[in-house]
Structures are given as C-alpha cells and as structure tokens.
A and B are shown apart, each in its own frame.
Chain A
C-alpha cells in the first residue's frame, strides 16, 4: 500500500523558514516524480513544485520560485520542501503527492503550515 506521510509543519513568523519532509513507502520511490501541492484554509488546490525521480529536473510555481526549494533522498525514500522568506499567504496545508504519468495519483494526509506573528 502506498503511504506518504508529511511532517515538519507548524507555526512560523513571517520571514522565517521551515523544512517539510515526506516519508514514502509501498512503492519504488526513485521511479516516481513527486510534487508538493498546498491548500490555504477554505481555499482550493495550488500546485507548488515538481521533482523528477532522479532529482535532476525541478519546477516551481511562480508564487514560490526563488523562495522554496524541492529535493529528495531516494536512499531514504524521502521528499523535502525547504521554505524560506515565508509570508502570511503561505499559510496552508501542504500535501506530498506522487505523479503517475501526469496524474496526481497518491496524496499524503498533509501538514499544516501557519505563518503568523
């Protein structure tokens, strides 16, 4: 069974940093591209970032480009999102999502990031 478990969320002040992690199991992690998708409270879904299976290709949404970094450790079956220069509008639940072809096929349960002073 595919499992994606996010961690690392919490309360952070504006301008601060946070690193999210996603532990993957139940599938060959290195064979799958991975993504981060977020959802602000009461709002819709926003794709943030993509990383290929090898980690060599990365994409970012304009809203986080230059502030967020995506990485992975295939030996540890883990995905990461380093978030810097956080703003109030980054407050959201952050989901780790596997990509099957071009489909968001398995989702974690999400981790809540709150940016507030």
Chain B
C-alpha cells in the first residue's frame, strides 16, 4: 500500500498571500496524483489531477507541480473561499486508493 503524507498539518496564511502545500508518496506514483478541497460541512471536491491539471471550474490561482514521490500545491493569492482542508490522493497503484492526512489552510 502506498502511504501518503502531507505537510504542514496546518498552514496559517493571510488573504492575498501565497500558500504552498506539500504531499509525499512512500513510493513513486508517477503523475497519478490528485488534490481535493474540503470546506467545513461539505463533501470534498476534485481540484487537480494528473499532478497538474485543474478540474473544471477551478481557478488558475491553483497550480501543482511534481512527479514521482514529491508534489506541491500552490495557491498563488489566497481568497476567502480557499480556506479549507486539502487532501492529496494517489491513483497510480490501487486498490487501495490512499489519501494523505490533509493540510488545513486557515486565516492568519
């Protein structure tokens, strides 16, 4: 089973600032990595897949880089609606599908 880790657990950022979230896989997942955003009381939604492709309707301020075992999600200028929990998930080798523990982005 591929184990996903994320850092930091919590990131405090001021609106308008850049946020950088990290995700690491215990073995290579190639570019088969997705990011999900979850706001309080809501279901997660697909944000990015293929390590760098934004899902439909996701604004360009969200970008992702990396391949293999190290990935980074960057939010270039945080808007109020971006404060949420972000999960990475590998789909290179399944079952099982595995998620990281999440990074909470909150207001500084």
Binding site for B on A (CB under 8 A): 35, 44-47, 50, 59-62, 95, 102-105, 107-110
Contacts and interface: CB of A to CB of B under 8 A. Distances in A.
Interface string B34-68: 10100000111110010000010000000000000
B6 to A, nearest CB: 9
Contacts of B91: 102-103
B87 A104 contact: no
Given A44-B87, A95-B43, A103 B95 contact: no
Nearest to B50: A103
Contacts of B36: 45, 104
A44 B100 CA distance: 8
Smallest CB-CB A-B distances: 4 pairs: A102-B91, A107-B43, A59-B95, A47-B97
B97 A108 contact: no
Contacts of A104: 34, 36, 44, 46, 89, 97
Q: Is the interface of A mostly helix, strand, loop or mixed?
A: strand
B43 A47 contact: no
A62 B96 CA distance: 9
B101 interface: yes
Q: Is the interface of B mostly helix, strand, loop or mixed?
A: loop
A44 B32 CA distance: 20
B37 to A, nearest CB: 11
B83 interface: no
A62 B95 CA distance: 10
Contacts of B34: 103-104
Contacts of A44: 87, 99-102
B69 interface: no
A76 to B, nearest CB: 22
A59 B95 CA distance: 7
19 contacts: A35-B97, A44-B87, A45-B36, A45-B44, A45-B89, A47-B97, A47-B98, A50-B97, A59-B96, A61-B96, A95-B43, A102-B97, A103-B46, A104-B34, A104-B97, A105-B46, A105-B55, A107-B43, A107-B44
Given A44-B99, A59-B94, 8 more contacts: A44-B100, A45-B99, A62-B96, A102-B94, A103-B91, A104-B44, A105-B46, A110-B43
